[in-house]
Structure 1
């Protein structure tokens, strides 16, 4: 175990037994450490800081008085977590049964293979590790759905996102500095996971920023995910220092995404820009919208950015040359690369596994693809896909009842924040697991739905008064 892992363990255990929101802050911030192994003897299994912190967070939530009962109610509530609960049960059962049912009948790209290539379908360690990962994500979503109706928790969550943004930006800056000073070895204690690392890659003569992730694509994806959260949740920060810090963080995360030269990150930025534009138009036309308080400031910033960009282009047209070169390399040349061909092959074989099993799937952890939708289908089958996509659609589209305008607006902002990340998942995600960050947001969205017990109590009370 490296010293950063030891330090994080001490911080997490101390936060576990504290009364403050420290563990929540650590849960969100540790997403920046995507290459750090937290176990001294892993046996090939990687436990990242955010996963370790999530396990402690779930335990801390559920041991609080009454939360087990509330958690069970949320897990079985059709409006909140029931579809996700059913998906996890189905996926874990399939991970144990399906690889044995279809043993040796067709080829897959194994998720835990030491070298990329095809092999016949067989039970593997990935079936167990991926089951653990998806259960941990589910536990995180369940914990947030249990306590997410608290106004205090929403405030803590907003602050945690702000801390996480600056931690992530700091890791990117450190990565750049150590590379340019040729002292990259100082980051080796933070890069101890048994993954393949691409941390010293250049694009167009400049270093691709990876922070403390395994590669630039992962770093860019996390940057866009956090940036989307801050963009849409920005109206909920207090005017003054907090709001200013949020604006600065958005700008820095955008810069880090560009410096990562991640094609996935650029896709995410494009989706974020489109969704923000549609949402801005909607808020402009809806005079009663809770999130339109700062709409004049937003238009002023947009006008300023567009004016500076146009002025710079007119004064010096060559300013766009590096941008066009980067886009050409990341978009047009990407389709000719060996990496693109390999990832396309993964997805094709994963889709074929879905067809070869008659739509039942090869089992969680049996296949590696490069498309989240195909990963869900190829691993858990049509029924699993209906449950997972149904759960996400339900949380994204349903309107919560009996909640304040503040809670409803907060839920809407979270829903919009999710879309860029889900779009990026469709491009590069190799496994069905939604991850801790997305699970946290889905849990908070589910928490905006009033529990059935509260609705029954309100109904009984109103009948009594009548």
Structure 2
């Protein structure tokens, strides 16, 4: 175990037994450490800081008096978690049964194999580890679905997002600085997971920023995910320092996404910009919307950016040439790269596994693809896909059970922040697990469907000043 892992274990254990929201802040912020192994002897199984923190976070929530019953009610509530509950039960069952049912009959790209080629389908450790990951994400979503109706939880969640954003930006700056100073070995204790690392890659003569993730694509995806949350939830931050910190984080995360030169991140930024434009128009028409108080300032900033860009282009026609070169390399030339060809092969094999099993899937943890939808289909089959996609569609498209205007507006902001992440998943995600970050968002959305008569959870982590 490296010293950063030991330090994080100490912080997590202290937060576990402390009263107040410190464990929530660690849960959200540790997503920046995507290459750190938390176990001294892993045997090939990677436990990342956010996963370790999530496991203890869920335990801390559930052991409180009365919360097991509340969790059961949420898990079986048709408007909250029942579809996700059914998906997890079916997916874990399939992980144990399907690889044995179709043993040796399918060609797959194994998720846990060190080689990049294909192999025949057989039970593997990936079936168990991926089952644990999806159950951990489910537990996180379930916990937030119980707590999300609390105003105090929402305040701390917003602040935790700010902390996570600045931690992620700091890791990117450190990665860039250590590379340029030729002291990158300093970060080796943070890169101990048994993954393939691409941390010293250049694009157009510049370092691709990876922070403390495994590669630039992962770093850019996390940056855009946090940026989307801050963009749409920004009006909920208190005026003054919190609001200024949110604006600064949005700008810095956008810059880090560009420095990562991640094609997936660029796709996410495009989806985010499109959704922001639609949301801006909607808020302009809805004069009673809480998130509409700063529309004039936003429009002024947008037109100022457009004016400066157009003016600069007229004065220096070649001003945007580096941007065009980067887009050409990330989008048009990407289709010619070996990485694109390999990932396309993964997805093709995964889709064929879905077809060859008659739509039943090869089992959770049996295949590696590069498209989240195909990963769900190839792993859990048509029935599992209907449950998972149905759950997400239900949370995104249905109106909150609560009649509170605050719940409606907060839920809308969460839904908008979720869409760019899902769009990036469709481009690059290799496994069915939705991840801790997405699980927390879905749990918070599900919390807006809590019956108005339901009692609040017993949670010491919500105590303290706000």
Residues 106 and 356, structure 1, Cα contact 8 Å, conserved in 2: yes
Distance 2:63 2:149 in 1: 18
CA distance in 1 between partners of 2:280 and 2:453 (Å): 36
Decide whether the 8 Å contact of 1:77 with 1:451 is kept in 2: no
Q: CA deviation at 1:317?
A: 1.6
Q: Provide runs of 4+ in structure 1 moved above 6 Å.
A: none
Three-state SS of the structure 1 residue aligned to 2:257 is helix
C-alpha root-mean-square deviation of aligned residues, in Å? 0.9
Q: What's the offset of the Cα at 1:335?
A: 0.2
Within 1, Cα distance between the matches of 2:40 and 2:451?
Answer: 42
1:402 Cα shift? 2.8
Query: For residues 451 and 367 of structure 1, what CA distance do their matches in structure 2 show?
Result: 39
Aligned partner of 2:460 in structure 1 is: none
Q: Which moved more, 1:50-59 or 1:286-295?
A: 286-295
Counterpart Cα distance in 1 of 2:6 and 2:403: 42
Counterpart position of 1:261: 261
1:404-425 residue CA offsets vs partner (Å, 9 max, x unmatched): 2112111110000000000000
Residue 326 of structure 1: aligned partner: 326
Distance 1:76 1:54 in 2: 22
* Aligned twin of 2:270: 270
- 1:403–1:448 contact (8 Å) kept in structure 2: no
User: How far did residue 451 of structure 1 move?
Assistant: 2.9
Q: Distance in 1 between matches of 2:453 and 2:69?
A: 11
Aligned to 2:37: 37
Match of 1:431 in 2: 431
C-alpha contact 2:37 2:193 (8 A) present in aligned 1: yes
In structure 1, distance between residues paired with 2:317 and 2:46? 48
Q: Secondary structure at 1:34's aligned position in 2?
A: coil
User: Which residue of structure 2 aligns with residue 129 of structure 1?
Assistant: 129
Question: Contact 2:4 / 2:189 at 8 angstroms: preserved in 1?
Answer: yes
**Residue in 1 aligned with 2:184?**
184
Asked whether the equivalents of residues 400 and 407 of structure 2 are also in contact (C-alpha less than 8 Å), the reply is no
Alpha-carbon separation, structure 1, partners of 2:99 and 2:51? 26
Partner of 1:58: 58
Q: Bigger shift: 3-12 or 442-451?
A: 442-451
Which residue pairs with 1:336 in the alignment?
336
Partner of 1:404: 404
Distance 1:399 1:74 in 2: 17
Q: Counterpart in 2 of 1:17?
A: 17
Q: Deviations over 1:165-222 (max 9, x none)?
A: 0000000000000000000000000000000000000000000000000000000000
The alignment partner of 2:319 has SS state of helix
For residues 365-376 of structure 1, the aligned pairs below 5 Å read 365-376=365-376
Q: Aligned pair count? A: 455
SS at match of 1:317: coil
Partner of 2:164: 164
Match of 1:196 in 2: 196
d(CA) in 2 for partners of 1:402, 1:211: 40
Alignment partner, residue 311 of structure 2: 311
> SS of the residue aligned with 1:58?
helix
Q: Which residue of 2 aligns with 1:460?
A: none
Q: Secondary structure at the match of 1:318?
A: coil
Aligned residues of 2:402 and 2:452 also touching (Cα < 8 A): no
Report the 3-state secondary structure (helix = DSSP H, G, I; strand = E; otherwise coil) of the residue aligned with 1:364: coil
- Structure number with the bigger relative contact order (C-alpha 8 A, sep ≥ 6) is 2
In structure 2, the residue matched to 1:298 is 298
Deviations 1:353-381 (A, max 9, x none): 00000000000000000000000000000
3-state secondary structure, aligned to 2:312:
helix
User: What is the CA–CA distance in structure 2 between the aligned matches of 1:452 and 1:229, rounded to whole Å?
Assistant: 26
Gaps of 5+ in 1: 456-466
| Equivalence for 1:288 | 288
Offset at residue 453 of structure 1 (A): 5.9
1:82: Cα distance to partner?
0.2
Gaps spanning 5+ residues in structure 2: where?
456-466
> After the TM superposition, which of the residue ranges 406-415 and 223-232 deviates more from structure 2?
406-415
The equivalences for 1:432-451 within 5 A come to 432-451=432-451
Q: State how 1:38-117 maps to structure 2 within 5 Å.
A: 38-117=38-117
CA distance in 1, matches of 2:362, 2:262: 31
User: Secondary structure of 1:349's partner?
Assistant: helix
Q: How far off its partner does 1:452 sit? A: 7.8
Indicate yes or no: 2:248 matched with 1:248.
Answer: yes
Shift of 1:301: 1.3
| 1:195 match: secondary structure | coil
CA distance in 2, matches of 1:116, 1:320: 38
1:28 equivalent in structure 2: 28
CA distance in 1, matches of 2:454, 2:35: 43
Q: Tell whether the 8 Å contact from 1:74 to 1:451 is kept in structure 2 after alignment.
A: no
Shift of residue 66 of structure 1? 1.3
8 Å Cα contact 2:350-2:368 kept in structure 1? yes
Secondary structure in 2 aligned to 1:167? helix
